[in-house]
Structure formats: structure tokens, C-alpha cells
Copies of this chain bind each other. A is one copy, B any other.
Amino acid sequence: MIEPLDNLVNALCQLPTIGKKTALRLALHLLERPQEELDMLSQCIASIKSSIVVCKRCFNYGTTDLCDVCSSTARDTSVICVVEKPQDVLVFERTGIFRGLYHVMGGVLSPINGITADKLRIEELRARLAGGEVRELVLGLGASAEAETTCLYLARVFSGMKLKITLLARGVPAGTELEYIDQITLNQALHERVEISYKVES
């Protein structure tokens, strides 16, 4: 294969989910697009790191020292949702329900991969909680074994503070048929079953 095409294919291959065949397909597609479109994509890629700043308060991605959430005046500063990665903030924001602030942990405990408590942003969280303004800490860390361990760890670390610590509800996800639910999820859903009451309007 000719060199410039080969270089582009190899560069595209470095991306996740893109193999040699897809890379070639993308490269040949790019070759047929107008130069402005290539310049646009190329510019976006080259500048992405320098145009995105990590928020100095919550470690979410932003464009200034404080991210959009932290610099908003419309957020409830008494609630902090602890998440693993910056992209998890996007997931929560998409619901449009959560109006509090975030704290990006930078990972979950996984000693086997060298991620111990000192690698997470726990001290930074402690500093934010020290102000006394925060009343609730929502642990929004997912439901993997590592995430659950991290939740328990955080619950213990901050147990001494005057603070409500909550966990995302575990249970049957929407739209699922019961026969496909795993045993652990079903056990949790059963254990944390919720009473519903049917009220007759009088």
C-alpha cells in the first residue's frame, strides 16, 4: 500500500473498536471528502487536549478552571454525586434529574491493578466535605465488584461526618424480562422490594 494511506490506516488503527479493515474503509472515505471537512476533523483532534481542562473542584471535564456544573448557580451545592470517570457525569446529566454537584474519583478500588485508596481523589473529596455545606453524598459508582467495594470503603471513610450517604438503587432494570435477570440482581431486587399502595380517591 502507498505510504500516506498506510500511515493514515495505522494511525486510525490505534483507536478502540477500529481494526485494519475499518481503518482502510475510513481512510478511503476521508480521501473522497472535501479538504475543509478533513481540516475540521484534524483540527478537532489536534486541539482536543488543549481545549479541555479538568475542573479543579470536581475533576470533571470543562473549558475553564471550574466545569459547567461547578460554575452554574442553578445547582444544589448541598448534594455531591461521586462518579468514577468524567464520562459518567455526562450519563447523569443526560437524565436531567440530578441537580447537585459531582466528584470524579478517577477510578474505583482495584488493588490487583494497583489502584489503591491513595490513587483515588478521596482527600480532595474530604476537603470539599469539610466546609459542612454538603448534606448528602450520592455514591454513583456502578455495580461491579470493585465499584461496590469502593462504595463500602467511602461509606466507612466518611461515616464520622454529619452527612447522609446514599447508594443508587439496585434492582431490575427497565424493560427486562425476569427470566433473563441474574441471581444476584434478583436477590437484591427482592431484598429491597418497595411497598406500593393503591389509594382510592375519596
Contacts and interface: CB of A to CB of B under 8 A. Distances in A.
A61 B27 CA distance: 12
A187 interface: no
The main secondary structure of chain A at its interface with chain B is: helix
Given A16-B29, A29-B16, A44 B2 contact: no
Contact of A49 (B11, B35, B46, B48): B35
A187 to B, nearest CB: 31
A35 B45 CA distance: 9
How many of these chains are in the complex?
A: 2
A190 interface: no
A16 B25 contact: yes
Given A3-B63, A4-B52, A52-B2, A12 B41 contact: yes
Nearest to A8: B44
Interface of A: 1-5, 7-8, 11-12, 14-18, 22, 24-31, 33, 35, 37-52, 61-63, 67-68, 86-87, 90
6 contacts: A2-B52, A2-B67, A3-B63, A4-B48, A30-B48, A42-B46
Q: Which 6 A-B pairs have the closest CB atoms?
A: A42-B46, A4-B51, A8-B44, A42-B42, A11-B41, A42-B45
